Chain A
Amino acid sequence: MSILVNRDTRVICQGITGKVGEFHTRGCLDYGTRMVGGVTPGKGGDSVADLPVFNTVAEARDATGCNATMIFVPPAFAADAILEAIGAGIELVVAITEGIPVLDMARVLPVLKDSGSRLIGPNCPGVITPGECKIGIMPGYIHTPGHVGVMSRSGTLTYEAVWQLTQLGHGQSSCVGLGGDPLVGSSFIDILTLFEADADTHAILMMGEIGGSAEEEAAEFVKHHVTKPVAAFIAGRTAPPGKRMGHAGAIISGGKGTAEAKLAALRDAGIEIAESPAGMGAAMARAIERSR
C-alpha cells in the first residue's frame, strides 16, 4: 500500500509537447510510471515518447482510462488546465507549474471542493511511491521503497530529506510535495489523514517553512489524530521579517508565521524536531526509535 499513487495508476501529462513536459514524461516513463498519453490543445494525433497526444483531457480519459494527470502547462493557462482535468473527472491532479496567479487558484479551489478530484500543488515537485509510480520532477534514484511518509511545501528540500532517509536505510511509502504557493490543493492535514490511514506508512516526516499557519494547524491535527511517529523541519529560521523568500507564501509579517512559533507548536504536539536541515533523516530515525 501507499497513498495517492501506485503501480496501477494510469497517468497523462497535460503540456506533454512542451520541452519540460516531454523531458519529465520521459523521466516518469524511465522510472516505471504507467504513462498512457498526453494532452496539448491543437496537437491531438501527434505522439511524444511513443505516447498518444490528445486535444482534450476528456478525449485522453476516454481513450486511455487515465486516473491521474501531471500538469506542465504554462502559468497563464495552468488554472484552466486544472479545471479541465477536474471537469473530466480525473481523480488525481498534480500541478507542477510555478507562477500561477493567486486569484486564478482562488477560482479553482471552490470547483475542486465540489468535485471528486484531489489536487496536489501547484508549484510542487509532485508525488512518488518509490519503486512503483513517480508523477513529477523529483530525481527517482534518491528514493527507496519503505515505510516513511514524506510531505513538504518545498521541492528540493524534500529531495534532501528523502536522500537522508535513504542513506540512513529508511525507505519511503510515498512522498508528496504540497507546493510553495499561498493557495494549493492539498494541505498537510489532508496528507496526514492519508498517511495515518495507510497501513504501509509507519512514520511521517514533514518539512514546513516560515509564513502562514499551515504548520501550526498540522501540529494541532497530529496532537489529536495521528498515532504514528512524526518528525519535522522548518525552513527559514534565519529569514528576516518582511522579506519574501522565493515562495509566494514564505514571508514573516508582523510576528506571524515565524519559525519559532511553528517549532513551538510542533514540539507541543510531540513531534521530533530537526534543528538542522542536515538532520531531517536523523530526526525521523529518533522519532521511530522513541516510539518503539
Chain B
Amino acid sequence: MKPAKPSNIPLYAFVAFALLMYAAPAEAHLNTTGMGPIYDGLMHFLMSPEDFVPVLALALLAGLRGAAYGRRALFVLPVAWLLGGLAGLSAAAANPHPFIAAGWFLLLGGLLAADAKLSLRVTTALAALLGLYHGYLNGTGMGLFETAAVALLGLVFAVFVLVALAAAFVVRLRAEWARIAVRVAGSWIAASGLLMLGWAVRTR
C-alpha cells in the first residue's frame, strides 16, 4: 500500500501566517503616500453640496439629451473647472455669492425638470461657465496651501468621474418612468434653489 502523501496545508498555513504577520507600514494617512492633496481635493468636492449638486444636475441634463451631450459635458466641465481653479489660485479669496449659488441650482435644476431641449452649444456654454465659476471659487479657497494645485487636480478628477457616471447612467435609460424620475431629481434641485434664494434674501 502506497504511503499517504503528507499534506501541504501546514506549509501553506505557515506562509499565509508569515505574510499576515509581515507588518508593512499601513500608511493610513495619505500625506505619507503623496496622495494626500489629491484625496483632499476629491473629498472636498464630494463633501461640498454647493459644488456637487450643480455638477450632478448638469450631468443628468446632458445625459437626458444623449451621448454626444454627455461626452461634451464630460470634457468641457473638468477642463473649465481646472482653468478656473488655476486662475483662482493666484487671486484673493472670494466667497460664493448666495444669489449666484441659488441661481445655479434654480437654472440647472429647472432645465433638468423641464427636460429642456438645449442645443449642444448651449450645453457646452453652461458646462464652461459652471466649471469656470466654481473652479475659480475653489481655487481662491485653496490658494493658501502649497499643495493647492495637486488638490485641484483631485477635485477635477472627481468632477470628471461624477459627470461620467451620472451622464452615462441617464443616457442608457429608456423607460419613461426612469426618465421622469431623473426630471423629478431636477425639480428637487430647483426647489432647493428656491429655498436658498429665500434664505439669501432673509440674511441679506
Q: Say whether A and B bind each other.
A: no
Q: Could you tell me which A residues sit within 8 Å of B by CB distance?
A: none
